[in-house]
Amino acid sequence: MLFTTGSDEKKGTRPAPLIGRRVCLRALRRGDLVHLRKWLEDAEIRGLIGEVSSMSKEDSERFLEKVRGDAKRAWFMVVVKEDNRVIGEAGLLRMDRAWRTTDISVIVWEREEWDKGYGTEAVLLLLDHAFRHLGFHRAAVGVVGFNERALRFWTKIGFRKEGVQRDGYYYDGKYHGFVLMSILDDEFRELHGGNSS
Ligand SMILES: CC(C)(COP(=O)(O)OP(=O)(O)OC[C@H]1O[C@@H](n2cnc3c(N)ncnc32)[C@H](O)[C@@H]1OP(=O)(O)O)[C@@H](O)C(=O)NCCC(=O)NCCS
């Protein structure tokens, strides 16, 4: 199916939920601001994802409205289905329908939820959505060069390294490389069968 999403998604407001075996990706709600504000206090994770500054209450409210109104973004909260626990955020951004390319992101903000397979499930849901439902051909991610966990994670999913932006990221008084990675729709289908479950 090629770019025949619901009208809500076209407006960039409320993407329909993506439901996996253990996690569900659902659209952001106003009530999520409390999570976003708490998470953005975590300077170490912010450094790992390239988000150098924290957010004030007003910033986070503006972010929520921006995300909801951005037609080039399909942004979700990552929720563990078992008990509705909100553990992070994930989505497609900078979606370029003409070029059939999109960027992708996942952040499991709650550290105690790392290494349980939730990030993998969230990304597979997003890639299936991007390639099978939205008709994109390519999904790309930029990874902070010292974020070893993320580099391993994306490689394991099947992303390939395209190159490094030399000194592309300035953090904590130093320059770091910024790694560009991508996966194409046929590579995804070959590795994962085009299905997240
Ligand atoms: C990087 C990140 C997205 C990975 O998500 P995650 O949920 O921790 O990763 P997963 O559990 O899916 O996969 C990681 C490991 O868990 C293992 N795993 C997968 N399914 C599992 C399961 N059901 N139970 C236990 N472990 C599992 C995987 O084998 C993998 O191990 P390995 O790659 O070392 O072999 C997450 O740690 C994170 O958000 N970190 C901080 C922010 C960040 O760096 N985001 C990425 C920006 S580019």
Model pLDDT for residues 46-75, shown as the tens digit of each residue: 999 999 888 888 988 998 999 989 999 999
35-70 burial by CB neighbour count: b if 16+ within 10 A, else e?
Answer: bbbebbebeebbbbbbbeeebeeeebeebbeebbeb
Which numbered atom of ligand 1 lies nearest the CA of 142?
A: 48
Q: What is the pLDDT of residue 14?
A: 80
List the domain boundaries for the chain.
Answer: 7-138
Model pLDDT for residues 86-143, shown as the tens digit of each residue: 999 999 999 999 999 999 999 999 999 999 999 999 999 999 999 999 999 999 999 9
Give the CATH fold of the 7-138 domain.
Aminopeptidase (3.40.630)
For ligand 1, residues with CB inside 6 Å are 45, 48-49, 106-108, 114-120, 141, 143, 147, 149-150, 152-153, 156
